[in-house]
Structure 1
Amino acid sequence: MPRKRLVGVVVSDKMNKTVVVKVTRRFEHPVYKKHIERSKKYHAHDEHNECKVGDVVAIEETRPLSKTKRWRVVEILQRAYQTEKMPEVEESEQL
């Protein structure tokens, strides 16, 4: 039986070798027929501490690794946009 795979966004990378991934799903309300978004957070194992906040990652179900970790990061699908600091330019150099 294949393992479940989900795609979500990393919301926290404060822990060592662990990231918190927010997975959002859309579904139609059974009575009102309105589309609703619901999200859930999963703790996932990140062996090499590669994930950063904002990355879009694929996670896969695995055996229990700790009290809360039952998922592992399979791949990073999209890196978060990183804004680098621009070097300070003095006013005399601008003109």
Structure 2
Amino acid sequence: MAVQHSLELDNGSCDDDGHPARTGTLWSCVAHIITAVIGSGVLSLAWSTSQLGWLAGPIALLIFAIITYLSAFLLSDCYRTNDGTRNKSYMDAVRMYLGSF
């Protein structure tokens, strides 16, 4: 009996660099962002408010949200190399920008 993994593509569609094509949409992106933000916000808002108070707690959350936004922006900037090929992993991007170590 053959087992087919749910992440495998049946039609063999490939991206411009020969790797499996990305099939995400704008709505799946928005859904992932909302679940991440709401999940972390619900779990950390009460704790930060109780530990830091009503003023410093939400300010600390806002600061960490800005840091998260900036790091996500920097990571998305490393998605493609200068010649247009896709970095398959985080370590590929590190090796491309910093060289092998």
TM-score (norm 2): 0.22
Structure showing the higher helix proportion among its residues: 2
Structure having the larger proportion of residues in strand: 1
Higher relative contact order (CA 8 A, sep 6+): 1
TM-score with structure 1 length normalisation? 0.23
